[in-house]
Amino acid sequence: MLVFKFGGASVKDSKGVKNLLNILNEFSDNLIVVVSAFGKTTNKLEEILNLSIENTEKCKEKFEILKAYHFDIVKDLFSDESDPIYTELKNEFLKLKNEIFEKKHDSFDLKYDQIVSFGEIFSTMIVSAFLNSQKLVNKWIDIRKVMITDDTFREAKIDMSLTKTKAEEAFNFKNDKVYLTQGFIGGSKSGYSTTLGREGSDYTAAVLANLLEAEKVMVWKDVDGILNADPQYFDATEKLDRISYQEAVELAYFGAKVIHPKALKPLHNKNIPLFVRSFINPEGAGTEIGCFKQYDQDLPIFILKKDQILISLFPKDLSFAIEDELNKVFGYLSEQRIKVNLIQNSAISISLCIDNINRKWKHLIERLKVDYKVLYNDELELLTIRHYSDQAIKKVTKDRKIFIEQRSRHTAHFVIK
């Protein structure tokens, strides 16, 4: 059995949905197909939610635009306007409208999940109906009844043992060969919709593969596979043919948009290989992430993380007992849920490189100032080079101001401006 995942970019219009059909037609295996919301729908739903608080008129307008976008796709796919998908979709949009304008929820995060989860419901209803109309027989599964989570809304944690039981029931392959379901969303035990964190569909695919012991996972993207650098920032990029899970974790951790970082562990635990392939060029072999011992390509990998803050702390009395102080500093960081990308310490200082998210770091600095003298630089970049050579380093750091440089056997990091 294989698990496929199609992200929003692969199904942003009716052409994308037809392309998905062509890809699936090439496979005769048992399949679970996980699909994201169409295009940028999740962002649009976030926008609608925010507007529902500030500006009802604008919110209604955006709601209608999102509805029209989905119905335009349906019209391209189903010429017969009496097809049941028209009524089904209309009903789902009514439910969404009700969630936005009528229901009151105590917490923003709870409301967020009730609204944002509709993106995947819409897309999968449409794709499933279209595939069935084209004789690719499939069963639509409401993953909110399978992927059982706690109620940490917007970042729900999956109850693996309960989900395993439900998943074995739902995806039993007794009468069906192909299942179509949603990524990113789940359902709490109390009956609410939940979400697993933005870009979470990879994680859904990985968890299902793990629980159901799939042979492989295939993630279909708009690139030929995993590249050795982001073509947005680097030129002459090349595809990596195969990398190990460990390598993929390193890349994801330091900011490569390879695959959702949470997706790797469930696959690694069961040794399930993951293929990143192109939905534009489906014949291509893509990149395989699997149990490979060593990185065997002669290509350095470049990862750039933008918008970094470098914070340096000095004790006010010059006496730094590093061990104790590190505990304290990491205590503050975990309190504010800030992830440290790089750390460097000397006898009398600690430097931390962190993401600039939501101005959280400003609070952190205020907090740290109570105990330390604090200096910081913002608008920096963290450049990571895996499997570096002197030449590779020179190429990307020349003419840049280097704030911190760290090298280990396989990895070099630079905090630069």
Task: Pick the binder of ligand ASP from 37, 66, 252, 310 (CB under 6 A).
Answer: 37
Chain residues 167-186 in contact with ligand ASP, contact rule CB under 6 A: 183-184
Residues present in the chain in total: 417
Q: Give min distance, CB of 363 to ligand ASP, in A.
A: 26
Q: Given the complex with ligand ASP, which of 200 and 266 has the nearer CB atom?
A: 200
Chain residues 2-21 in contact with Mg ion, contact rule CB under 5 A: 8
Q: Rule CB under 6 A: say whether 66 interacts with ligand ASP.
A: no
Q: Give min distance, CB of 38 to Mg ion, in A.
A: 9
Amino acid 75 reads: K
Q: Rule CB under 5 A: say whether 36 interacts with Mg ion.
A: yes
Stretch that binds Mg ion, among 33-41, 170-178, 290-298, 395-403 (CB under 5 A): 33-41
- What is the rounded CA–CA span in Å between residue 329 and residue 111? 34
Measured in whole angstroms, the distance separating CA 171 from the mean position of its chain's CA atoms is: 24
Q: Given the complex with ligand ASP, which of 156 and 382 has the nearer CB atom?
A: 156
Task: List the one residue out of 397, 369, 365 whose CA is nearest residue 378.
Answer: 365
Q: Give min distance, CB of 187 to ligand ASP, in A.
A: 16
Q: Rule CB under 5 A: say whether 237 interacts with Mg ion.
A: no
Please compute, for residue 174, the number of CA atoms within 13 A of its CA located in the half-sphere on the CB side: 4
Chain residues 45-64 in contact with Mg ion, contact rule CB under 5 A: none
* Lookup: tokens for 263: 């997706």
User: Is residue 359 left, alpha or beta, with left meaning phi > 0 and alpha meaning psi from -120 to 50?
Assistant: left
DSSP of 198-241: TTTHHHHHHHHHHHHT-SEEEEEESSSS-BSS-TTT-SS--B-S
Q: Give min distance, CB of 252 to Mg ion, in A.
A: 16
Stretch that binds ligand ASP, among 199-207, 218-226, 234-242, 332-340 (CB under 6 A): 199-207
- What is the rounded CA–CA span in Å between residue 323 and residue 365? 20
Which residue bears the tokens 């740290």?
368
Residue nearest to ligand ASP (CB): 201
| Beta carbons of 48 and 157 less than 8 angstroms apart | no
Please compute, for residue 11, the number of CA atoms within 13 A of its CA located in the half-sphere on the CB side: 33
Chain residues 90-109 in contact with ligand ASP, contact rule CB under 6 A: none
Task: Please tell me the count of residues contacting ligand ASP according to CB under 6 A.
Answer: 12
Which residue bears the tokens 């993106």?
119
Task: List the one residue out of 154, 147, 122 whose CA is nearest residue 205.
Answer: 147
Stretch that binds ligand ASP, among 71-79, 198-206, 356-364, 376-384 (CB under 6 A): 198-206
Residue 184's binding partner out of Mg ion, ligand ASP, none, with CB under 5 to 8 Å set by partner kind: ligand ASP
Stretch that binds ligand ASP, among 193-201, 212-220, 243-251, 282-290 (CB under 6 A): 193-201
Q: Rule CB under 6 A: say whether 42 interacts with ligand ASP.
A: yes
Q: Rule CB under 6 A: say whether 149 interacts with ligand ASP.
A: no
- Rounded to 5°, the CA angle 164-169-174 comes to 130
User: What are the residues binding Mg ion (CB under 5 A)?
Assistant: 8, 36
User: What are the residues binding ligand ASP (CB under 6 A)?
Assistant: 7-8, 36-37, 42, 119, 183-184, 198-201
